[in-house]
Amino acid sequence: MIDAKKILEIISAVAKKIEAEKDFLTQLDNEIGDGDHGINLSRGFKSVEEKLPTFADKDIGTILKGVGTQLVSTVGGASGPLYGTAFMKAGNVCKGKTEISDAEFVLAFETAINGIKMRGKAVEGEKTMLDALCPACKVLKEEIDSGKTLTEALAAGVEAAEKGVEFTKTIIATKGRAAYLGERSLGHQDPGATSSLYILQTALKVLQRG
């Protein structure tokens, strides 16, 4: 089970983590993109942070939709609409709920990923954020289904996302700006997969705080 207060804590912590990693994310995007991923996400999550007080006492659906709307409207790059869609889709699943079960958390995560796939017309294995998110969600679901707590399951999910980020170094980009590089994208880790890992790691940290 996870309540609206925890969701707000996670979002606030994610905003701080993105700010802390802004330069590194931008550096990764310099190598295979246009060098703005950290700048894009920092702008987006700063505006989310400013909106946080207006989300207090709101249900999880409203909070997640608000985050998504903020990201879509403030982030110029491809990642804004993609992350924005993810949060909005997750918000649909949590509509009117002040707390969600672990199974609902899994469903929200799956729905968010499907939103990214639809919006970006991408699948796993194309060197994008999906290469961190999809394995993480799969493992998370398996662990929840086998009776683990959300914190335990997310810890396993984060490990899967870490492997996913490593995997992006070994594949050629076929979506997004990095696709222009073809083989030259080999050896570089995907910026979006990396920011996705940071979001999951941060959520885990907040859950582990209890």
- Binding status of residue 29 toward Mg ion by CB under 5 A: yes
Residues contacting ligand ADP: total by CB under 6 A? 23
Please report how close the Cβ of residue 194 comes to Mg ion at its closest, in angstroms.
12
Piece of the chain touching ligand ADP by CB under 6 A; list 31-39, 65-73, 104-112, 201-209: 31-39
With b meaning 16 or more CB within 10 Å and e meaning fewer, what string describes 166-181?
A: ebbeeeebebbbbbeb
H or E element in which residue 92 lies: helix 79-93
Q: Which of residues 58-77 bind Mg ion (CB under 5 A)?
A: 77
Minimum CB–partner distance for residue 83 and Mg ion (Å): 13
Residue 79 token pair = 């990642």
Nearest-angstrom CA–CA distance, 74 and 96 = 25
- Residue 21 as a binder of Mg ion (CB under 5 A): the answer is no
Evaluate whether 143 touches 156 at the Cβ level (below 8 Å).
Answer: yes
Q: Which stretch binds ligand ADP (CB under 6 A): 11-19, 63-71, 95-103, 116-124?
A: 116-124
Residue whose tokens read 């979001």: 199
Q: How many other CB atoms are found less than 10 A from the CB of residue 151? A: 16
CB contact at 8 A, 72 and 81: yes
Q: Which of 36, 102, 110, 143 touches ligand ADP by CB under 6 A?
A: 36
* 125 backbone φψ class: left, alpha, beta (φ>0; ψ -120 to 50): left
**Could you write out the DSSP letters of every residue in 23-43?**
HHHHHHHHHHS-S-HHHHHHH
Of these, 44, 66, 77, 91, which contacts ligand ADP (CB under 6 A)?
Answer: 77
Among 34, 50, 57, 145, binds Mg ion (CB under 5 A): 34
E strand or H helix at 100, and its extent? strand 99-100
Residue 157 touches which member of Mg ion, ligand ADP, none, C-beta under 5-8 Å by kind: none
Nearest-approach distance from CB 33 to Mg ion, in angstroms = 4
| Of the residues 42, 62, 74, 128, which one makes contact with ligand ADP according to CB under 6 A | 128
Residue type, 8: L
Binding test (CB under 6 A) with ligand ADP, winner from 68, 136, 192, 199: 192
Decide: helix, strand or coil at residue 140: helix
Instruction: Indicate whether 102 belongs to the interface with ligand ADP (CB under 6 A).
Output: no
Residues that bind ligand ADP (CB under 6 A): 29, 33-34, 36-37, 40, 77-79, 82, 116, 120, 122, 128-130, 175-177, 190-193
